[in-house]
Amino acid sequence: MININSLGKQYGAHVLFKDVTLELTAGQRYGLVGANGSGKSTFLRILTGDESSDAGTVGFGKKLRLGVLRQDQFAEDEARILDVAMSGDREVFDALTEVDQLSHAAEVDADRIAHLNDVISHNDGYMLETRAREILVGLGIPSAQLTEPLRTLSGGFKLRVLLGQVLVGRPDALLLDEPTNHLDILSIRWLEQFLQAFAGCAVVISHDRRFLDAVCTRTLDVDYETLIDYAGNYTTFVERKSLARVQLEAQVTRAEKIIAEKRAFVERFGAKATKAKQAQSRMKQIEKIEVAEVANTSRRAPLFRFEQERQTGKDVLTVEHLAKSYGDKPVLTDVGFQIKRGEKVAIIGENGIGKSTLLKIVTEHAKSDRGRHEWGVNTKIGYFAQDHHELLSDPKLTPLDFVWNAIPSEATSYVRGQLGRMLFSGNEVEKKVTSLSGGEAARLIFTRIIVDKPNVLVLDEPTNHLDLETIEALADALAKYEGTLLFVSHDRWFVAKIANRILELKRDGLHDFRGDYEEYLAKQGADHLDIDAVSLKAKQDKNNKSAAPAAAPISYEERKRRANRLKSLPKKRDDLMAEIERLEAEKAQLEAKYLEPDFFESMDAADMKKHKGRATEVTRLLTQNMASWEDMEREIHELSSDA
């Protein structure tokens, strides 16, 4: 599908990769991983044609449709959200647009309309809008907002629309650069399921370990100035790469030991006539021994170590009846909870639900409309904001200045040492903070937090912009931190590694779960967040069922209610199935209308709009009724089991 031959790229003397030869095939989903700056995005840009290579070639299969999500894509702000997504299937979208225009023309070009109709029918074009709606809603765009201009969405939601545009385009191959950025946990799970069902070839850059594990069948590792293809997902890749490194180092050690032993013999006996022949033999053997070169890895991880200057009191944070609205849009409503010393609390929920707003309020970076929050005694807060631009906006400031300002009494060597632990070495500490990359800026903020020694950490999406090695190092340090932690993250691996309590913000309020993330998922008993939750819940239920005492007897009134319900459900189910069959027949008739030769000539604009509206409504009703039918079948099964 995509053939890569002897590909190479370098900037000056810095080699990113060389002699890369690969074949990317249909049915495989490749995770593209490597340290920040190793060349992942460069490799992807070469595949898309946005950047040239220094050596080698990239070839694509004949008529291959390429879907590309770039981090810097642009879309027309005044266009309808739905139209932006539909335009991903450009040929069909243009044909539908032209048909609509011709249907309003004074003179009807029947031949042109017939040709366009063939294009639309051949590409299942009359389902384009339905397909675009399903994808956008799956990515968390409210269905009621799909006909509004793109400019009504925030930057993060615009990126979702652009991702939807790529997926709508029916690509044979997908190239996705950080597709989970700005997605909440629910939308990430939807994207996982989409990609798992994708029949083509996909190459994905991501710093989300669970996403890579759930999606990828192979892993492309950019390291050692080349690119190596490993079978398996990210976890499998880490194990295999580590084992390969250990084996190579052991092989080199053995070879060097043999060489040393033979050289020692030569040096000891080479001058003796009786041993000269043996010494020469050993010299020839040494020349034949090949010692593999152990290349230096480009991966580096900072040394996070969070310490608290003093301990807090038992009660760390109390929040009561907190509410916040932006204009007429309520974000937080009657939120209340209490955090005790030593708790590590993850706040999760869909985007726009108010997670970051909550952190801003409790750290005094925003004001609530109602309610109160109070920190306990001796609390010292370290706050990591999702957006550091204001903090690092001074063009004269260097990393050295930024950290030293927090601890002016410390020696320069101490400050440089702390920066060095966070991978700022040599002249890097004198760079301007405004020129730092996202990952460098995040590491600098953490350096300042570390030297401040807070006993409470409040972190808003701390893994954004960090590579996988840094995320793992950060998670390890936070797991060892003896203070209190309150954080927002969409990275499920990160949440599972650290949290011992989950606060989930939902539309109906705050749900407080006292346990870790895996226990929380198992308690949900649903597959909306993590595929592993289902099997874990099933195992626990099986164990509980065998170990638990017999359940209390069901009352006569309850048995009677269940019996009556079970008796009434089959007829309701049959009626619902009849309605589903009727809607499916109507849907088929509506779609068949488009294929009639005189359809566009015989319909005026009002009738055309009515026809399209009914087609959309029928699709919506079908989806709704199918969900109701599944719920009804499940209830019949449960009541039958209890009978």
Question: What are 483-495's pLDDT values in tens digits?
Answer: 999 999 988 899 9
pLDDT of residue 444: 95
Dist CA 58 CA 46 (whole Å): 8
Position 625 scores a pLDDT of: 78
Tell me, yes or no, whether 250 and 113 share the same domain.
Answer: no
What's the pLDDT score for residue 548? 45
Lowest mean per-residue pLDDT among 114-123, 515-524, 535-544, 608-617: 535-544
Contact of 381 with 456, CB cutoff 8 Å = yes
Residues 506 and 569 reside in one and the same domain: no
Q: For residue 527, give the DSSP letter.
A: S
Cα torsion angle, 306, 309, 314, 316, sign: negative
Q: Are residues 162 and 190 in the same domain?
A: no
626 and 580 fall within a common domain = yes
The residue with greater pLDDT, 479 or 246, is 479
Cα separation, 397 vs 391, whole angstroms:
10
Report the C-alpha gap between 86 and 599 in whole angstroms: 23
Claim to verify: residue 458 and residue 384 sit in the same structural domain: yes
Domain end point (choices 188, 208, 232): 232
Q: Residue 533: pLDDT above 50?
A: no
Distances (CA, A) of 271 to 259, 267, 274: 19, 8, 9
* Residue indicated by tokens 């599908």: 1
**What gap in Å lies between CA 97 and CA 83, rounded to an integer?**
10
Which of the given ranges, 19-28, 103-112, 183-192, 561-570, has the highest pLDDT on average?
A: 19-28
Unique residue bearing structure tokens 């031959």: 5
Per-residue pLDDT reduced to its tens digit, 380-389: 999 999 888 7
pLDDT band at residue 526, thresholds of 50, 70 and 90?
Answer: very low
Q: Give yes or no for a contact between 229 and 68, defined as CB atoms under 8 angstroms apart.
A: no
pTM: 0.68
For residue 176, list its beta bridge partners: 69, 204
Residue 427, in any domain of the structure = no
Could you read off the pLDDT of 178-210 as tens digits, one per residue?
888 778 777 888 889 889 989 999 999 998 999
Q: Token pair of 193, please? A: 């399921």
Same domain, 358 and 477: yes
Question: What is the pLDDT averaged over residues 369-394?
Answer: 91
Angstrom distance (rounded) from CA 59 to CA 47: 9
Average pLDDT score over the chain: 85
HSE-CB of 89 using CA atoms within 13 angstroms: 24
Give me the CATH number covering residue 505.
3.40.50.300
- Band of pLDDT at residue 292, cut at 50, 70 and 90: low
Whole-number Å distance between alpha carbons of 454 and 432: 26
Local structure of 171: helix, strand or coil: coil
Give kind and range of the element (H or E) at residue 383: strand 381-384
Q: What gap in Å lies between CA 510 and CA 513, rounded to an integer?
A: 10
Tens of pLDDT, residues 428-463? 999 999 988 888 999 999 999 999 999 999 999 999
Q: What pLDDT is attached to residue 553?
A: 61
Report the percent of the chain where pLDDT is more than 70.
90
How confident is the model over 330-345, as pLDDT tens digits?
889 999 999 999 999 9
Quote the CA–CA distance of 290 and 252 in Å, as a whole number.
9
- What is the biggest distance separating any 2 CA atoms in the chain, rounded to whole angstroms? 110
Instruction: Give the confidence band of 543 by pLDDT, cuts at 50, 70, 90.
Output: low
Residue 536 has pLDDT above 70, yes or no: no
Task: Tell me, yes or no, whether 183 lies in a domain.
Answer: yes
Domain finish residue from 249, 270, 288: 288
Write the single-letter amino acid at 519.
Answer: E
The tally of domains found in the chain comes to 5
Distance CA(296)–CA(63), nearest Å, equals 40
Q: Which of 207, 232, 257 is the last residue of a domain?
A: 232
- Indicate if the pLDDT at residue 534 is higher than 70: no
pLDDT surpasses 50 at 532: no
pLDDT tens for each residue of 70-82: 766 666 788 899 9
Helices (H) and strands (E) in the chain, counts: 21, 18
Q: What percent of the chain has pLDDT over 90?
A: 41
Q: How far apart (Å, rounded) are the C-alpha atoms in residues 606 and 317?
A: 59
What local confidence, expressed as pLDDT, does residue 279 receive?
Answer: 74
Note whether residue 548 is domain-resident: no
The answer to whether the beta carbons of residues 625 and 574 sit under 8 Å apart is no
Q: What is residue 200's predicted lDDT score, i.e. its pLDDT?
A: 92
Residue 383: which residues within 8 A CB-CB, separation 6 or more? 359, 363, 365, 449, 458, 459, 460
pLDDT tens-digit map of 575-603 = 887 888 888 788 778 767 766 666 666 77
Joined tokens for residue 169: 């385009």
Do 205 and 160 sit in the same domain of this protein?
Answer: no
Task: Give the pLDDT of residue 597.
Answer: 63
pLDDT in the model for residue 529: 44
Terminal CA-to-CA distance of the chain, rounded, Å? 56
**Domain around 604:** 556-642
Q: Considering the domain boundaries, does residue 223 fall inside one?
A: yes
Mean pLDDT along residues 151-169: 85
Could you tell me the pLDDT band of residue 537, with boundaries at 50, 70 and 90?
Answer: very low
Q: Is the pLDDT of residue 151 over 70?
A: yes
Residue with more model confidence, 146 or 251: 146
Residue 363: inside a domain: yes
Report the 3 state secondary structure along 322-333.
EEEEECCEEEEE
Is 51 in contact with 42 (CB distance < 8 Å)?
Answer: yes
Residue 163 CA to residue 147 CA, distance in Å, equals 17
The more confident residue out of 177 and 551 is 177
Q: Is residue 407 domain-resident? A: no
Residue 293 has a pLDDT of: 67
Assess if residue 546 is contained within a domain: no
The enclosing domain of 634 has a CATH number of 1.10.287
Could you report the per-residue pLDDT of 225-245, keeping only the tens digit for each?
A: 899 999 999 999 999 988 887
- Quick one: which of 476, 473, 31, 21 has its CA closest to 237? 31
- Residue 336 sits in the same domain as residue 379: yes
pLDDT of residue 77: 83
Half-sphere exposure of 472 (CA within 13 A, CB side): 12
| pLDDT digit string, tens, across residues 306-315 | 999 999 999 9
pLDDT band at 31; cut points 50, 70, 90: very high
Beta-carbon contacts of residue 183 (< 8 Å; ≥ 6 apart)? 139, 140, 160, 191, 351, 490
In this structure, are 340 and 381 located in the same domain? yes
Query: Which of 102-111, 112-121, 202-211, 253-262 has the highest mean predicted lDDT (pLDDT)?
Result: 202-211
Residues 42 and 132 placed together within one structural domain of the fold = no
Examine the domain organization and report whether 471 and 360 are in the same domain. Answer: yes
417 inside domain: no
8-state DSSP, 369? S
Predicted confidence (pLDDT) at residue 297 exceeds the cutoff of 80: no
User: Among all chains, which residue has been given the structure tokens 């290579």?
Assistant: 53
Residue 452: CB atoms within 10 A of its CB come to 14
Which element (helix H / strand E) includes 21? strand 14-24
Query: CA separation (Å) from 30 to 53, 111, 157, 166, 206?
Result: 20, 45, 25, 17, 11
Domain shared by 336 and 472, yes or no: yes
